[in-house]
Each structure stands twice: as structure tokens, then as C-alpha cells.
Amino acid sequence: MFKKILIANRGEIACRVIKTARRMGIQTVAVYSDADAMAPFVQMADEAVHIGPPPASESYLIAEKIIAACKQTGAEAVHPGYGFLSERTSFAEALAKEGIEFIGPPVNAIAAMGDKIESKKLAKEAGVNVVPGFVGEIRDTEHAVEISNDIGYPVMMKASAGGGGKGMRLAYSEQDVREGFEATKREGLNSFGDDRVFIEKFILNPRHIEIQILGDKHGNILYLNERECSIQRRHQKVVEEAPSPFVTPKMRKAMGEQCVALSKAVGYYSAGTVELIVSGADPTGESFYFLEMNTRLQVEHPVTEAITGVDLVEQMIRVAAGQKLEMTQDDVKIDGWAIENRVYAEDPYRGFLPSTGRLVRYNPPVEGWTDDGAENGRRGVDGIRVDDGVYEGGQVSMFYDPMIAKLVTWGETRDEAADKQIAALDAFEIEGLGHNIDFVSAIMQHPRFRSGELTTGFIAEEYPEGFQGAPASDELKTRLAAVAAFVATARSDRSRRVDGQLATPLDPPSEWTVSIDKKPYEVVIGEETVVVNGTEVELALEYTPGDRFIDAEVDGEDMTIKIEPTRLGFKMTTRGAIHQIGCLPTRVASLSQHMIEKIPPDLSKYLICPMPGLLVSLNVAEGDKVESGQPLAVIEAMKMENILRAEKSGVVKSVNAKAGDSLAVDAVILELE
């Protein structure tokens, strides 16, 4: 077994690998850029080597710097994590030349499966179902249009070396191809150094199912069941679960055996994932097609660990050291259900715009995951596991992926795992930048998610107008009204007790008018009861003015509520939504109608940069006429390109930026007359 390994990655996956290596008695080496000098993974490792400035192209993607760090520290092997150099054949070859073990698959397998065009040819030869499409070289946009017209819309344009949702565009028409083909090429070149693109038929009502593969150097290859990854936004996974609510034992066996056959065809070993697209319109479940094989560990691997009890990182290390797998296919079981939500630095209330900045507050619902070696160690504390690599006061940088943490829950049933997600998300505290906690909580509560009727179009179909918070039932609003009045009473009572200078102590008001979504609730606070609109609410909670979170039991149900005082009440966040709550003593509530309402200014004549990023292109000039919805500019942020469109028709009055400029959030790019 290795005595020392180097992790050629950063963030939560670096922390994840270090924890397992530590349990195995293996010393670890971290490499870090300037931006990560104070990151948790650097502090956790036994040694750390600085490798350059923040841009990955000048640090984490420079193989020579990784190899130099290995030589400097005596690391015998490298775990690449995912992304960065994890699927670069040149990196694995360079390590081999230096006698350093690559904790991953053989070079020939990376080469065969890393090229999306060639991998489809190999899959077809191995007898695996493949999606109809064009897998040759595409010359230019006109050629892409011709191919797409022949295949029939909708089609998917994908960067050949792509992954992680980057370098992908869905086209429903010729215009979509003309707008998106060059952007797909650029994303492929910028993220992966390869601008080749292939085009394939987009499967209607698709479900994204992937099979976890694990093999050793002695010819043993297993499949560790499937994961459902259908809930995606812009082709980036948001929610993953294992097992899939759609896959039957018969389907699981058929998928698994095909994926093992493909893996054997390329001499695969280590952990890997074969991704499949399944037609949800086929009730037999037999219409599944090969998408790609990821020759590395997947972001969503914890859900597989939770239901199988297998530590995939440990197995990768043991396989790299030449050990045989100690399990057989018959040993692979499914125990319970696991769900993973990716907590991203993005603002769903503002069109999911990337958010960068300082984590002013960061308190996950449980401490970051630690594996004590027991099977249940894969599941965290009481079925809640957090994989993260950030810290309170740290920065979420524009240079790297926007994921803050992975929240994983395990339960005996799918509903239990989802309920644990909702409770854990309510208790997850993040301040300082936008995040998607409310959004993933809303998904966990959504009737369609609960039914298991998922497709990759779930988010677009269920939130066509964007996200404004999870819908709140009348029952929830009644409970919030009771909590708001109770908290307001407690605050008034404290003010009365603090101000001992009054000649006559003032009792706090007992009757409150609470407004939620413009609906009034009349609340009476008694000595032992809380009555809302004439109905008694059972309420048990403790609140001290200044508390940011309230743990309450309302009508027998536990609730965690984030609370922030406002001028006339509170802002309460729970169950996937932010609620602006007015709360005034009933005797003065009628006076609130005389308050002046501030109306926000009309900014539609400006094109405003919605996020910090690079202005890749500007499509108009001063004096040009534009139409509503017309693409005006492209901003690149967090490795993704975002098209900015005109909110209304008009004529460009002035242009304040040029292609190549780095822009701050809310920077005015241009103004219309």
C-alpha cells in the first residue's frame, strides 16, 4: 500500500480524498493556488505545495507542477479527483514515465472513453445501444445546420471532450444551431482545450441514468447499481439519487451488464461511470442509450456509497496499489435510499445567476463528513452527510466551479431521505452570497419529484417563469403567523424589561395583525395558547432577540426557521421560500396603510451585467436598432457563457464596455434611447 499520495485537485473532493486516506494510514499532499492558500483541504493535508496563481490554466491544469510537487514530497501516487487533469491521458502518461502511480483507470481507457466521438464508435462495436447522431468531424456552422436538419430536431450539440454540463447546447431549430454552435466550440476549447463538437438526436422525455463501475487490475469488474441524475439545469446535475425510482431489477441487470461489457472491452479498472439516456416515454424501460463514460470519480458518488456501504475512494486507492476487489457482484446490495443536492453559489431568485464573494456565514446542518470506517460512516450523522471544502469567511472565487457543498441524506425509503433533505436545508446557513438552498428544498417538496416522474426537462417544465420560492400552504402560513406574533411579543417584552426608567411598566401587546402575501392573520398571544384567526395553534419554541434561527414545534411538527427583523416585521425563510411578514400590534396596524411605498426604478433601457465576468462578445454598436429578446452580449462566468438579451426594442444610445473587459455585477454595458 502507498505511504503517501498527492491529491491533484481542490475543494470538497480534495477534502474527501484526504479523509479516506487518513483513515487508511496514508499521508497526503495537497497542491494549491493563491486563491486556495487558506482553504480547508490545504490545512487538512500532511503537506501542501503552492503551484501558482488562481486561474486553473496556470495552476491546477499544469501537469509539470503536479509532478514536481510529487518529486518534492515523495508522493508515490496521485488521486486526480474529478475535473482538471482527471481525464487527461497526457497527465497519466507523464506520471507513468516518472514512476508515479495514477489512482484511476489505464491510459488506453481514458483515451478511448474521453473522446465522446470515438467512445460512441467503441460502444456501438461492443453491442451497447447508442443515440442516433453524427459522430464525425463538423467543419463549421453551415455543416452543423445541415447535419441537424438531417437528424431532425431537437438535437444536442456537445463538445467532444466535454463534461460537467459544459460545452452543451440544446437546439430546437436551425436558428438555435446558428446561435449556439460557435458558443459550444468556444466552451469546449476554453474548458477542455478541444473545440470539436458532435451532434446527436435529443431523446424526448429523457431520464439520465448512470451506472457506477468498479474494477481491479486482475480483470474483475462490477456494477454498483445505478444513480438517477435527471434533475438538471443547463445540463448540469442538481439532484442525484440512488437507486432510481424508475429502474426495475430487470433494467438494472441489463444496463449493468452492458456497461460491464463496455468496460471490459477497453480493459477498464478503478472507479468509473457509464452514463445512459433512457426514454421515459417507454413503459418497458428498454429504450436506454449510451451517452458517455466518465473515467473518474463522479461528483455524486456519495449516494452510491450510502446505499452500498462501499467507500469508492478507498477502492480506487486499493486498486491502484494492485489489490484485488474483495467483493463480487452478488455482494453488491441496495440498502435504503440516498439523495444528494448540490448547494451552488447561484441565485435562483435572479435567474440562477452565478454568485461570487465572501461566505460571511457558513454553518452546515452537520459537521463535514468523516468516515469512521463503519458501514454507516458513509451516511453521515443520523443519515445526513455534508461534503464541503469551504469555510466561514472564505471566498467563493470566480475562477472555479460554483459548488459550495454536497448535502447527502439517507433513509429507509425515498420519502424519508427527501424529508431529511428538507429539514437539513432549513438548517443550512449561508450568508454573503446567493445560493440555491430554497430551490433544491422546493424540488424535494414538489409533487412531481415525490411521484418519481422525472425527466431532464423537470426544472424547465416546472419553473418556466423562473423560481420565486416554494409555494406555501395555508397551514404553513398560519404557523408562520403564530411564530411571528410570538417572536414579536418576546421582543416587546424584552424591550419593556430593559427600559427600567419608565414609571409604569408597559405590558407587551397580546393582539397582533400579521400579514403574509397580503393576507391578514389576527393572532392572540395568551399565557398558554396562541390563537390564529380563531384557531388554536400548538406552539413550543424558545427565542432570544438576536437569534438567527428558530427551532420550533408547531402543531406537533418540528420546524427550523431563519428569521431576520425588518422595519415592520420579519423576513422568515423556511421550507424553500422567503416570506416577507408584516407584524404589528393590532391597535396600530391600521396606520400602516399610510406608509409611503417605494417603487423601484425602470432599468429596462439598460443592459446590465448580472454577474462578475468577462465580456466575451458585444453584438451591437451605438446607433443600432435592437428588438426585444435579441442577443446583445455574451458574458463568461464560472466557466459558463451567458447570453444577455434586450428587454425591449429600441436604439442603442451608448456603449460603455468592449469585448475582453472584466465587468463587475450591475455594470452598465449599454444604454438604449
Res 494: pLDDT: 53
pLDDT at residue 373, rounded to an integer: 47
Q: Can you say how many angstroms the Cα of residue 365 is from the centroid of all Cα atoms in its chain? A: 17
CATH of 474-499+506-594, one of 3.30.700.30, 3.40.50.1000, 1.25.40.10, 3.20.20.70: 3.30.700.30
Residues of the chain with CATH 2.40.50.100: 606-672
Q: How far apart are CA 52 and CA 49, in angstroms?
A: 10
Q: Could you tell me the mean pLDDT of each successive run of 10 residues in the chain, 673 residues long?
A: 98 96 97 96 98 96 98 98 95 97 97 84 86 82 94 88 76 93 87 84 89 98 98 92 96 94 96 92 73 95 97 98 98 97 94 88 85 62 94 90 95 98 97 96 98 95 95 96 93 57 61 92 91 95 90 94 93 96 85 66 87 89 92 82 88 93 90 92
CATH 3.30.1490.20 correct for 133-201: yes
Per-residue pLDDT at 596: 66
The answer to whether 650 and 673 have CB atoms below 8 angstroms apart is yes
- State the span(s) of the chain assigned CATH 3.30.1490.20: 133-201
Residue 460, CA distances (Å) to 218, 467, 487 in order: 45, 10, 38
Range list for CATH 3.30.700.30 in the chain: 474-499+506-594
pLDDT at 131: 82
Catalogue the active-site residues: 292
Q: Give the per-residue pLDDT at 528.
A: 82
- Strand 47-52 vs strand 27-33: parallel, antiparallel, or unpaired? parallel
Q: Of the candidates 472, 486, 481, which has an alpha carbon nearest to the alpha carbon of residue 532?
A: 481
- Cite the DSSP H helix spans in 107-222: 107-114, 116-125, 141-151, 174-192
Query: What integer pLDDT is reported at residue 321 of this predicted model?
Result: 98
What stretch(es) of the chain map to CATH 3.40.50.20?
Answer: 4-103
CA atoms within 13 A on the CB side of 51: 30
Residue 218 DSSP class: T
Output the pLDDT for position 636: 84
- CATH for 606-672 is 2.40.50.100
Architecture of domain 206-459: 2-Layer Sandwich (3.30)
Task: Match 453524427 to its residue by C-alpha cell.
Answer: 134
The reply to whether CATH 3.40.50.300 applies to domain 4-103 is no
Angle between helix axes 174-192 and 141-151 (nearest 10 degrees) is 120
347: left (phi over 0), alpha (psi -120 to 50) or beta: beta
Give the rounded distance of the alpha carbon of 299 from its chain centre: 9
Residue 625: HSE in the Cβ half-sphere, 13 Å Cα cutoff: 0
What pLDDT, on a 0 to 100 scale, did the predictor assign at position 2? Answer: 98
The one-letter code for the residue type at 170 is: L
Q: Using the Cα atoms of residue 506, residue 507, residue 511 and residue 517 in order, give the sign of their dihedral.
A: positive
CA distance linking residue 64 with residue 97, whole number of Å: 12
Buried b / exposed e over 334-367, threshold 16 CB at 10 Å, is: eebbbbbbbbbbbbbeeebbbbbeebeebebbbe
Task: Report strand pairing: 77-79 vs 4-7.
Answer: parallel
